Structure 1
């Protein structure tokens, strides 16, 4: 049994003063309040859940190397991310298949919560840092083979709904128990809602990689923000989104439909310099990652603890920011055993100091060294 006290414990929709979390084995046995000894953490939160991350700590998910994947997952774990999807970028079919087979055992082991395919069924016009040489229209046979190869590991796939065959691809994903997301899209408002009607329930880094909203052409941004059943991802780094945009967008969705993500690449936690993302050169300067070829934003160097701090700085309450960083993204991928401090949930905890910096991390009842 482990007792974890905190001056403030963020549990669901409440903040418990002088609270505690009692852990037995890998699960939470009790969350309550009482007099706690001094020297406790300022804040105890559920472990962060990142459903869109490409790498970190100098390692990448995008090549399909399992040792690189372990290293990247370990880096983000140190920053409080106890549940994460390995996001792959647009790639040749053989690389996607190889990575799926390589990462399936890591998902079974619990190192990863699964795989996210950000591509290759995306818009040429809104490809951003995706490699345009490998973009293609949805292929149901390819998609089905990837799902089969993952044996449950494929959890999320981003699709541009305006492409030929995209709605059928979204329906196939839903039928196979995979979450469909809309992103990197030049779709109209109506085409976006058609994707939602087909079963898409996530908006991939909303605002980024999609047609900007206009009062006569609302496009995918307004469609996704207004769709009651869609969780909208937001990259809260002050670069992808102005803090005012983040505050406005999350006021529209509410914390139950807003998921903070990092979209981090290998350069997260590393010095400025030249990196690779999906076979493309990326220059990182001042912590900002941009494609060498055209200066497009290429992922981020963000961590989830920094995203949490940014959301609070932009005006979110502790409860709202915690839900956006944990509970909402967990629910978006069907993980109801993580993302909240409640009895029976997996004991994933992040202890923060008064400045919201990570002090200590617990995953499945074990402290991270």
Structure 2
């Protein structure tokens, strides 16, 4: 039974680089799933909502929350705060990124998160699972420096605490050869995407060994966590960045049978310079690049919060989070909708390619089913936008989760 009909007068991004010229009509059934996608207006059904452009809902696979607690390290103890704000940024699906912390703090976040995973409230973004940033971390960067090399038993307990909802874990490859990649293999055995990162010490041999270990498993090519950040790059001293810039590996026995990892990048223009982003986008295809926020606060200029003993403040333009009173960048308050405009307006990407890096690619990396594309059988997670890329409506599972008043064209 069709309950909702959405019209895109100029066109729709369907996913995988496909832009369908308008008019495009998407019908939604009583379960919030897409029934049909076509260019013919459904008979005997009135259009519910209309806009020039229709885009798939964005998928943020690296987000620490945008506040709601006294300390940003504990934002996910109050998931409703973040999940209620993300629809305004076009984010319809998110992974909750957890920091390496003591067992009690980790459990507090999970106690709040586990009941809401895959069970979004009306008007709230869907939390599809957990991204664990650590605890097997060589270079902490801005992460808490707590228990960064747990035993296999401690590591297994952390994974078990997530009750099967861990989708991605960041792990430093230089930490693993001494244990024969046993922690990495545990993740692979459970179908968790291994993300290599936070490692300025990893050698080419370490990285190849991690890729070789993953190659023993089906569809398990590793990912790279926020490429360029908490890493190194040199033309002779090979690092994760060198591997992440490869569209294909050299015809060399060292790389036989291996595939380049997918990568993610923080698209705020602060964590990674725009010229560096341009280089990455020249080297890799949209199917290999996911844009993330790596949020720790929402972008309210002057907003302050604590973070593990430090005082933070959102910058005056609402673009970055800094150690209070300094110019030291401490985190992100990025909107994925701003990422879209950055990709199209500054990086020169077409809207279909840009949306892939915000929707289809991150969904595939995290193995989140039925999101990231406008396709029958997928969730009706839809973004209605103007031709100049102003967000008008966010729909999650066919229901309006966010609207900008006065900007929505109704038929």
Match in the other structure for 1:149: 161
Distance in 1 (CA, whole Å) between partners of 2:326 and 2:210 is 30
After superposition, give the CA deviation of every residue in 1:6-42 in whole Å (9 maximum; x if it has no partner). Answer: 12111123212221211112111111124798x9312
Aligned-pair CA distance for 1:233: 0.5
Unaligned runs of 5+ in 2: 121-125, 215-220, 249-258, 403-411
* Alpha-carbon contact 1:64-1:103 (below 8 Å) kept: no
After superposition, give the CA deviation of every residue in 1:250-289 in whole Å (9 maximum; x if it has no partner). Answer: 23220111001011112x1323243223453323223321
Aligned-pair CA distance for 1:207: 0.5
Match in the other structure for 1:270: 300
Aligned partner of residue 271 in structure 1, secondary structure: coil
Distance in 2 (CA, whole Å) between partners of 1:123 and 1:350 is 39
Change in CA separation of 1:350 and 1:225 when aligned onto 2, cut-off 3 Å:
same
Distance in 2 (CA, whole Å) between partners of 1:206 and 1:70 is 29
Unaligned runs of 5+ in 1: none
Match in the other structure for 1:349: 382
Match in the other structure for 2:152: 140
* Aligned partner (choices 130, 133, 145) of residue 118 of structure 1: 133
Change in CA separation of 1:165 and 1:282 when aligned onto 2, cut-off 3 Å:
farther
Match in the other structure for 2:19: 15
Distance in 2 (CA, whole Å) between partners of 1:196 and 1:138 is 22
Aligned-pair CA distance for 1:168: 2.1
Change in CA separation of 1:336 and 1:61 when aligned onto 2, cut-off 3 Å:
farther
Change in CA separation of 1:113 and 1:260 when aligned onto 2, cut-off 3 Å:
same
* Alpha-carbon contact 2:244-2:260 (below 8 Å) kept: no
Is structure 2 residue 230 aligned with structure 1 residue 217? no
Match in the other structure for 2:203: 188
Aligned-pair CA distance for 1:65: 5.0
Is structure 2 residue 93 aligned with structure 1 residue 91? no
Distance in 2 (CA, whole Å) between partners of 1:362 and 1:151 is 29
* Alpha-carbon contact 2:243-2:261 (below 8 Å) kept: no
How does 1:1-369 map onto structure 2 within 5 Å? 1-6=3-8, 7-12=10-15, 13-17=17-21, 18-25=23-30, 26-34=32-40, 40-56=50-66, 58=68, 62-63=73-74, 66=77, 68-110=78-120, 111-124=126-139, 127-132=140-145, 134-163=146-175, 164-165=178-179, 167-186=181-200, 187-199=202-214, 201-211=222-232, 213-226=233-246, 228-266=259-297, 268-286=298-316, 287=318, 288-292=320-324, 296-313=328-345, 314-369=347-402
Distance in 1 (CA, whole Å) between partners of 2:360 and 2:97 is 19
Distance in 2 (CA, whole Å) between partners of 1:191 and 1:102 is 36
Q: TM-score, normalised by structure 2?
A: 0.82
Aligned-pair CA distance for 1:296: 4.5
Aligned-pair CA distance for 1:190: 2.6
Aligned-pair CA distance for 1:198: 2.4
**Divergent runs of 4+, >3 A:** 34-37, 57-62, 277-280, 291-296
Distance in 2 (CA, whole Å) between partners of 1:296 and 1:53 is 20
Q: TM-score, normalised by structure 1?
A: 0.91
Larger radius of gyration between Structure 1 and Structure 2: 2
After superposition, give the CA deviation of every residue in 1:148-183 in whole Å (9 maximum; x if it has no partner). Answer: 222122211111111254832111111122111111
Aligned partner of residue 63 in structure 2, secondary structure: coil
Change in CA separation of 1:296 and 1:162 when aligned onto 2, cut-off 3 Å:
farther
Bigger mean CA deviation after superposition, 104-113 or 40-49: 104-113
Q: Give the root-mean-square deviation of aligned CA atoms.
A: 2.4
Aligned partner of residue 40 in structure 1, secondary structure: strand
Change in CA separation of 1:279 and 1:167 when aligned onto 2, cut-off 3 Å:
farther
Distance in 2 (CA, whole Å) between partners of 1:181 and 1:246 is 20
Equivalent residues, number: 363
